[in-house]
């Protein structure tokens, strides 16, 4: 109840979400404040606002909720893959690799409701750490004390431009060169900036887009350059509209890994998914 009031900013809105009466929410919150000996909310005509003590408590409330949900799933898990499995993936991974994996998994385990969330590497790792996702496909390497990382496949990255840009050398010599990138936290964005920095190119203007489709459209319109898996050109985006410039192997190779928390008991649905993806690893390439 504390978490709902804090998130919604109102006792009444929290009561509606929790399908109870406002007096019950108010009483429970006051009891919590009495137990802790502190005020958690500043109450006003327009609603409630967290005190500093409430702000300090809020992350723990979110963690408790996630742990209770995990405990409930674990108690009901008898070894048969059932229930909801929520995983994350880079947008490029979802577009290129996951459709056949998800389709065959869904056929093999019809009792699992599969939910896929896309995001940047940084966003997905944070969601796994916060227990919002059971696992995620992200750009490796990943070294975190709370995460187990398993290599899944490798991609070949390429510098993508409009077809009029004939070579990397001429492309990098453009005085109006701009980067077409995803939001901060994108691993390909970071790699592109590092690659250009090795060529002495820094401080370029950026065009930031929220979707892969928008990025490829901007590159095709010659608004700038981006770095993405070469295999996107053809099956996902028509090759004649984008030119893929090959990079040296050391700069082109990138590993995609699957990460999950080591202190979170793997559900039967997640265990089956990992085995299923591993069996298909040889087909990723």
Query: What are the tens digits of pLDDT across the range 231-272?
Result: 888 766 766 789 999 999 889 999 999 999 988 878 899 999
What angle in degrees, to the nearest 10, is found between the helix axes of 99-108 and 268-279? Answer: 130
Q: Are residues 95 and 163 in the same domain?
A: no
Q: What is the CATH number of the domain that holds 65?
A: 1.10.10.10
Residue 53: CB atoms within 10 Å: 15
Q: Are residues 248 and 258 in the same domain?
A: no
Q: Are residues 238 and 160 in the same domain?
A: yes
Model confidence at 285, in pLDDT bands (50, 70, 90)? very low
At 46-89, the pLDDT tens digits run 789 999 999 999 988 888 877 887 787 777 777 788 888 999 99
Domain finish residue from 17, 48, 76? 76
Q: Are residues 18 and 39 in the same domain?
A: yes
**160 burial level (CB within 10 Å; 0-12, 13-18, 19+):** buried
Q: Are residues 207 and 117 in the same domain?
A: no
In sequence order, what are the beta bridge partners of 258? 137, 150
**Beta strands 205-208; 83-89: pairing state:** unpaired
At 106-150, the pLDDT tens digits run 999 999 999 999 999 999 999 999 888 999 999 999 999 999 999
Q: How far apart are CA 17 and CA 162, in angstroms?
A: 50
Q: Are residues 12 and 68 in the same domain?
A: yes
Domain around 39? 2-76
In this structure, the chain runs to a length of: 285
Q: Are residues 164 and 247 in the same domain?
A: yes
Q: How many domains does the chain have?
A: 3
Q: What is the value of pTM for the model shown?
A: 0.76
Q: How far apart are CA 210 and CA 200, in angstroms?
A: 28
282 pLDDT more than 50: no
Q: Are residues 237 and 163 in the same domain?
A: yes
Domain finish residue from 76, 98, 128? 76
Q: Calculate mean pLDDT across residues 153-171.
A: 90
* Residue found by looking up tokens 């909720």 in the block: 65
């Amino acid at each position: 109840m504390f978490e709902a009031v804090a998130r919604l900013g109102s006792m009444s809105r929290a009561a509606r979400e929790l399908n109870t009466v406002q007096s019950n929410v108010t009483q429970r919150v006051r009891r919590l404040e009495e137990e802790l000996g502190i005020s958690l909310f500043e109450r006003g005509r327009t609603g409630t606002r967290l005190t500093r003590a409430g702000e300090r408590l809020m992350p723990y409330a979110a963690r408790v909720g996630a742990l209770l949900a995990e405990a409930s799933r674990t108690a009901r898990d008898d070894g048969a893959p059932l229930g909801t499995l929520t995983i994350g993936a880079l947008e490029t991974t979802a577009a290129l690799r996951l459709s056949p994996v998800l389709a065959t998994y869904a056929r093999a385990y019809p009792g699992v409701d599969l939910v896929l969330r896309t995001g940047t590497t940084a966003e997905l790792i944070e969601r796994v750490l916060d227990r919002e996702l059971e696992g995620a496909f992200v750009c490796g390497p990943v070294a975190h004390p709370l995460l187990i990382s398993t290599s899944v496949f490798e991609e070949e990255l390429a510098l993508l431009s409009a077809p009029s840009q004939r070579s990397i050398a001429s492309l990098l010599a453009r005085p109006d060169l701009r980067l077409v990138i995803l939001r901060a936290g994108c691993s390909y964005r970071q790699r592109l900036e590092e690659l250009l920095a090795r060529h002495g190119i820094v401080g370029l203007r950026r065009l930031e887009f929220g979707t892969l489709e928008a990025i490829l459209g901007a590159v095709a319109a010659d608004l700038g350059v981006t770095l993405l898996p070469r295999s996107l050109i053809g099956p996902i985006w028509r090759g004649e509209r984008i030119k893929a410039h090959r990079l040296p192997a050391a700069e082109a190779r990138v590993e995609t890994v699957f990460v999950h928390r080591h202190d979170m008991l793997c559900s039967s649905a997640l265990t089956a998914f990992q085995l299923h993806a591993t069996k298909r690893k040889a087909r990723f390439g």
